[in-house]
Amino acid sequence: MREISVNGQKRAETGKKASKLLRKEGLVPCNLYGETKGEKGLPEAFSFAVPMAEMRKVIYSPHVYVVNITIDGKEHKAIIKELQFHPTTDALIHADFYEINEKKNITVGIPVKLTGHAQGVRDGGKLQLQIRKINVTAPYKNIPELLEIDVTSLELGKSIKVGSLSFEGLEIATPKEVIVCSVRATRASRSAAAAEDAQ
Domains of the chain, by residue range, sit at 2-100, 106-198
What average pLDDT does the structure give for the chain?
88
Strand partners, 126: 184
Residue 70 has pLDDT above 70, yes or no: yes
- For the segment(s) 2-100, the CATH number from 2.40.240.10, 2.40.70.10, 3.30.70.3280, 3.40.800.20 is 2.40.240.10
Q: State how far the Cα of 28 lies from the Cα of 151, in Å rounded to an integer.
A: 41
Per-residue pLDDT of 161-192, as tens digits, reads: 999 999 999 999 999 999 999 999 887 656 55
Higher pLDDT, 134 or 188: 134
β-pairing, 105-115 with 147-150? parallel
Q: What is residue 182's predicted lDDT score, i.e. its pLDDT?
A: 97
172 or 89, greater pLDDT: 172
Evaluate whether 19 touches 92 at the Cβ level (below 8 Å).
Answer: no
**Per-residue pLDDT tens digits for 11-25:** 877 778 888 888 888
What's the pTM? 0.76
Confidence of residue 36 (pLDDT cuts 50, 70, 90): low
Residue 133 has pLDDT above 90, yes or no: yes
Burial class of 69 by CB neighbour count within 10 A (0 to 12, 13 to 18, 19+): buried
Strands 2-10 and 43-51: antiparallel
pLDDT digits over 97-125, tens only?
999 988 889 999 999 999 999 999 999 99
Is the domain 106-198 a CATH 2.170.120.20 member?
yes
